[in-house]
Amino acid sequence: MSAPLPAHRLFFPLGAGFAALSVPAWVGMRAGLLPPVGSTPVVWHGHEMLFGFAGAAMAGFLVTHTSRPLLSALLGAWLAARAASVLGGWWSYLALPFALLFAAITAPAFLRRAKAWSNAPFVLVPAGLLVAELAFGLEQSGIVEADGRALLLASDGVLLLLVVMGGRITRTSTAGLARSHRQTIGSLGRGLESLSALLLLAHAALALSGGPSSLSGFCSLAAGGIGLLRLARWWTGAIVHAPEVAGLHLGCLWLGLGLVLAGLGEAGLAPDPSTGLHAAVVGGLGSLAFAVFVRTTLQRERLPIEAGRRICRLLPFLSLAACFRIAADLLPEPLHLPALAASASSWSAAFGSLALWLLVGPVGRRGRTRSASAALPGAGMTDGRATRGPRPRARGRRRQSAGVAALGAPRRRGWSRRHKGAEEARHGLAAGLSGRRDEPY
C-alpha cells in the first residue's frame, strides 16, 4: 500500500504558481496583448480566482492525509478544470469533478466531527462550491441565463470560510505569539463569529433570491464591522516582529474592509460593490492564503516557524496589489489599465516568489530528501540546516482522514495533554480551526 501523500506539497506550489501567472494573463487579455479565453476574460478571471486559486488553497489545507490514487485523481481533476475554464461553453462541465471530489473528501469527515453548529461552515462551503460550479456550467452552456449568480455564490462561500477559518487561525496564532512574550489577547468571540457567519449566509440568500440590496448590504457591512472589531481585540505589539502572524492580521483587516466597502456599495453609499469584493479577495484572500501556505507547510514539515519569516516579508506586496486594484475601480479609464498592471505585478511578485520558495527553498529541499517513512513520528528530524535543537516526539501518530483535525481529534487513552498538543501542532489544523487551544508558537 502506498504511503499517504500530504496534499499541501502539491496544491500549495500549484496554487501559488497559478496565482502568479493567471492574474497577469487576465491583464494581458484586457490590454489586447493575449487572445481572450472562456466566455469572456472577466468571467474567466473571476472563476479562476475562486475555483482555481482558492480551490487549490482549500485542497492543500483541508485535505490532510489521503491515499496517493485519490490525491492524484483530485490533482488531475483540478488540472482538467483549469483547461475546461479556458475552453468555456459545454467544456465547463469538466470542472465539476474537482468540486465533487473535494466535497466528497472533506464534507463527510467534517460531518462526523461537526458536534457544534459553529462548525457548520466547514460542511456548507464544500457543498456550496459544488452547487456554484454546477450553476456556472449551466450558465456557460446556455441552459440558464448567465447573470453571474454562480460566481456570487462561490465568492460568498469563500468569504464565509475566510471569516470563520481565518479568524480562528489568526486568533490562535496570535495567542501563541503573545504567550511567548508574556502577553494576553482577547478571546476568540464565538458569539461574534457565529453572528458574522449568519450575516454572510443571509447576504448570500438575499443576493441569490433578488432581495433588497439595502438589506444585503447591511448584512455585508455588519459582518465586516464585526470582523474588524474582533481583529482589534487580538492586537499585540509582538506582531510587529513576527511577519508570518502580521500577514494573518493583514488578511483579516482587508477582509473586514472589503466586506464593509461591499456593503456600502450595495446600499448605494459607495460607487460599486465590486470594489469591496476586490479588496476582500486581493487583500484578504491573498494575504491569508500566503500566510497559511507558509505556516501550514512549515508545521507539517516539522520546520521552525522562523524559517518562513524571510518569505513573509513579501506580504506587503499583496496589500499594495489590493490598493492598486481598488484604485483601478476608482480612477478614470486612461489610468484604469496601468493601475491593473501595477496590481498584477505586485500580486505576481509575491506569489511567484512563494511558489519558488515552496519548490526550491528549505521546504522543497526537505520534501525531496524525505523518504516515504517520514510520515512516521520522529522521522526526518536530523536536518541540521533546517531544525534548531531536538524536536518533540509524540508516542504515536494516528492517520487522520481529510479535515478531521480541523474539528479536533478525540484524545486516545494514555495520551497526556503535552503529547496531544504536539500532535495538534504537527498537523497545524486542530489549534487553528477548533479555536479551543492556543497554537504553540
Residue 424 has pLDDT above 60, yes or no: no
Residues 6+ apart with CB under 8 A from 334: none
- Side-chain half-sphere of 240: how many Cα atoms within 13 Å? 2
Instruction: Quote the CA–CA distance of 250 and 245 in Å, as a whole number.
Output: 9
Choice between 28 and 390, residue whose per-residue pLDDT is larger? 28
Alpha carbon 102 to its chain's center: 14
Across 50-59, 379-388, 429-438, which has the greatest mean pLDDT?
50-59
User: What is the 3-class SS of 208-252, one letter each residue?
Assistant: HHCCCHHHHHHHHHHHHHHHHHHHHHCCCHHHHHCHHHHHHHHHH
State the average pLDDT over residues 3-11. Answer: 82
197 belongs to a structural domain? yes
For 76, residues 6+ apart whose C-beta sits below 8 A from its C-beta are none
Maximum Cα interatomic distance, the chain, rounded to a whole number of Å: 68
Q: Residue 65 pairs with which residues in a beta bridge?
A: 6
Candidates 223, 235, 152; CA nearest to 186 is 235
pLDDT at position 115 is 57
In sequence order, the 6+-apart residues with CB closer than 8 A to the CB of 377 are 393, 394, 395, 396, 397
In a domain, 165, yes or no: yes
- Residue 392 included in any domain: no
Collapse the DSSP code of 76 into the 3-class scheme (helix H, G, I; strand E, B; otherwise coil) and give the result: helix
Report pLDDT digits (tens) over 391-419: 444 444 444 433 433 444 344 444 444 34
**For residue 5, which phi and psi values (nearest 5 degrees)?**
-110, 125
Closest of 183, 185, 184, 190 to residue 167, by C-alpha: 190
Structural domain span for residue 109 = 5-367+401-434
- The whole-number pLDDT of residue 181 equals 84
The confidence band for 422, taking pLDDT boundaries of 50, 70 and 90, is very low
Is pLDDT above 70 for 202? yes
Residue 6 in 3-state DSSP? strand
Q: 133 pLDDT band (50/70/90 cuts)?
A: very high
CA–CA gap between residue 131 and residue 214 (Å, rounded): 26
121-140 helix and 96-113 helix, angle to the nearest 10 degrees:
160
**Which pLDDT does position 372 carry in this prediction?**
41
pLDDT: is 434 or 147 the higher one? 147
- The percentage of the chain sitting over the pLDDT mark of 90, rounded to a whole number, equals 46
- In degrees, rounded to 5, the angle at the alpha carbon of residue 287 between the alpha carbons of residues 284 and 289 is 100
Within-domain flag for 386? no
Measured at the alpha carbon of residue 108, what is the angle toward residues 65 and 140, in degrees to the nearest 5?
Answer: 95
Q: Residue 368: what pLDDT?
A: 54
> Which range, of 184-188, 322-326, 330-334, 432-436, averages the lowest pLDDT?
432-436
* 191 occurs within a structural domain: yes
CA 278/CA 267 separation, integer angstroms: 17
pLDDT in tens, 159-189: 999 999 899 999 999 998 888 888 888 876 7
Q: Above pLDDT 70, what percent of the chain?
A: 78
pLDDT above 70: residue 114: no
Q: Which position has the higher pLDDT, 50 or 372?
A: 50
Could you tell me if residue 439 is inside a domain? Answer: no
Q: What is residue 405's DSSP assignment? A: G
Name the grid cell of 284: 484578504
Residue at 94: amino acid letter: L
Q: Inform me whether the pLDDT recorded for 305 exceeds 50.
A: yes
User: Sorting pLDDT into bands at 50, 70 and 90, what band is 191?
Assistant: confident
In angstroms, the CA 63 to CA 403 distance is: 6
Q: What pLDDT does 116 receive?
A: 58
Number of structural domains in the chain: 1
In a domain, 382, yes or no: no
Residue 266: CB partners within 8 Å, gap ≥ 6?
A: 213, 214, 216, 217, 220, 273
Taking 80 as the threshold, does the pLDDT of residue 13 lie above it?
yes
Kindly state whether residue 289 falls inside one of the protein's structural domains: yes
Residue 378's CB: how many other CB atoms inside 10 A? 13
What average pLDDT does the structure give for the chain?
Answer: 81
Each residue of 221-242: pLDDT tens digit?
Answer: 999 999 999 999 998 888 888 9
CATH number at residue 272: 1.20.210
**131 near 122, Cβ under 8 Å?**
no
User: Are β-strands 65-66 and 5-6 bridged in parallel, bridged antiparallel, or unpaired?
Assistant: antiparallel
Confidence of residue 277 (pLDDT cuts 50, 70, 90): very high
Which residue matches cell numbers 474537482?
Answer: 98
Distances (CA, A) of 84 to 43, 126, 136, 206: 13, 20, 12, 30
